[in-house]
Amino acid sequence: MRSSFQPDHQTSPLLMFLTLLTLLTLTAVSSLHADEEENDRSVHHHRTIDALKSSNIDHESHRPEIDALWNSPISATEAVALALSVCHEPTRELLRAIGSLDGSTTGRVPPLLLDDTIDPFLRSNLGLWIAQLLIRRQMLDEAMAILDIVNSQEVAEPAEYHFHVALCASQLSNVLRAIQSLDALSGLSNVPRRYLAVARQIREELQNSDPGSLDSIARQMKDIGRRFELRRSDGRIVEMEDDVIKRLDVLIDDLERRKQVEQEQTSNTMKPTNPNQDDQAASVMGKGEVAPHRLTDRRSWGNLPAKDRERALQEMGRDMPGPYRGAVQQYFRRLAKTPRSSAP
């Protein structure tokens, strides 16, 4: 008997040929992509120099530093932004200011990004790089404001731009803008795999999320939590909290209606074993009072006794799916600790 590890002399040459052909093809494709990337970086490198010239920015004395940036493994976006900062003091000051920003600080779009005397290629890539720095600090509102003015036709890496717009917009619950950017991203070639993997997850979350669903509410509560962590104290948090409570109120109403229908259906199918006679007065009496259980005023939540708050939290999350029950209860516990001064 021939061993299973013994080569088949009739088929092995063909298999070896196909294997070799596959390896050669993969190597050629990989080499082609590497050459394309190298060519793109060279194009962006020269375009950066031309943009500096057209902006009348003295860069010749800094050519060694600029050239070194393009020989480093950083992204083309960062290379353009840092090349501009090397020979442009206002850009250096702006990047230093971004690096020292406190999360509680809100601000408008930096005037430098609106300066028409600077080439659009430089401004767009600088804006995209600054937006990424702000996203890393969870300063999404400021990042989105900058991304809104970035010219997507001028950036060195369009995939990087559309990915970060989708990421930022989805976390800010701007579903339409996020979907548009995801569509634009999917239409590009040579998109990094890490972008595609995260983009696929973002799309699934957005497409399966109804505006009135717990998914959507949970996303908004996460955004509120982010703003609390940044120590934001603007009126936007209050508005978002009120909106969350209203949307939860609608969901609770729906759950109560379903529960009532189920109870009525159950009671209709059950036959009494000892029905009360028509001419006999019932002996069971109640006070005819219904305990209030609805929270309609955000400001009264923190004033409830601790036991009442915990009881309300348990009732509120009893019929909700597990992943959301904890999020809702944690949200209202956080709300109870909110200073009264932040209430409207």
Contact at 8 Å (CB) between 238 and 227? no
- Distance separating alpha carbons of residues 125 and 161, to the nearest angstrom: 9
The residue ranking higher by pLDDT, 298 or 97, is 97
58 burial via Cβ count (<10 Å: 0-12, 13-18, 19+): exposed
- Distance separating alpha carbons of residues 225 and 237, to the nearest angstrom: 9
**Residue 76 carries which side chain, given as an amino acid letter?**
A
10 pLDDT higher than 60: no
Indicate the DSSP class of residue 4. Answer: T
344 burial via Cβ count (<10 Å: 0-12, 13-18, 19+): exposed
Q: Of the ranges 97-111, 221-235, 250-264, 268-282, which one carries the lowest mean pLDDT score? A: 268-282
CA distances, 212 to each of 89, 217, 334 (Å):
49, 7, 22
Q: Of the ranges 100-114, 180-194, 212-226, 255-269, which one carries the lowest mean pLDDT score? A: 212-226
At 30, which helix (H) or strand (E)? Answer: helix 12-54
175 pLDDT higher than 60: yes
Percent above pLDDT 70 for the chain: 62
- The 3-state DSSP class for residue 288 equals coil
A 10 A CB-CB count for 157 gives 20
**CB proximity list for 79: less than 8 A, separation 6 or greater:** 41, 44, 45, 48, 69, 70, 72, 156
Percent above pLDDT 90 for the chain: 37
List pLDDT tens digits, range 96-117.
Answer: 998 888 766 667 899 999 999 9
The pLDDT value given to residue 206 = 82
Query: What six digits make up the tokens of 214?
Result: 């717990």
The residue ranking higher by pLDDT, 327 or 136, is 136
Q: At what angle do helices 158-171 and 140-149 cross, to 10 degrees?
A: 140
pTM listed for this prediction = 0.62
- Distance separating alpha carbons of residues 131 and 142, to the nearest angstrom: 8
pLDDT-based confidence at 1, cuts 50/70/90? Answer: very low
> For the chain, what are the domain ranges?
37-209, 215-264+296-342
pLDDT-based confidence at 309, cuts 50/70/90? Answer: low
Contact at 8 Å (CB) between 125 and 156? yes
Q: Of the ranges 65-74, 146-155, 183-192, 236-245, which one carries the lowest mean pLDDT score? A: 236-245
Mean pLDDT (the chain, rounded): 76
Q: Which CATH class is domain 37-209?
A: mainly alpha
228 burial via Cβ count (<10 Å: 0-12, 13-18, 19+): middle
The average pLDDT across 15-39 equals 54
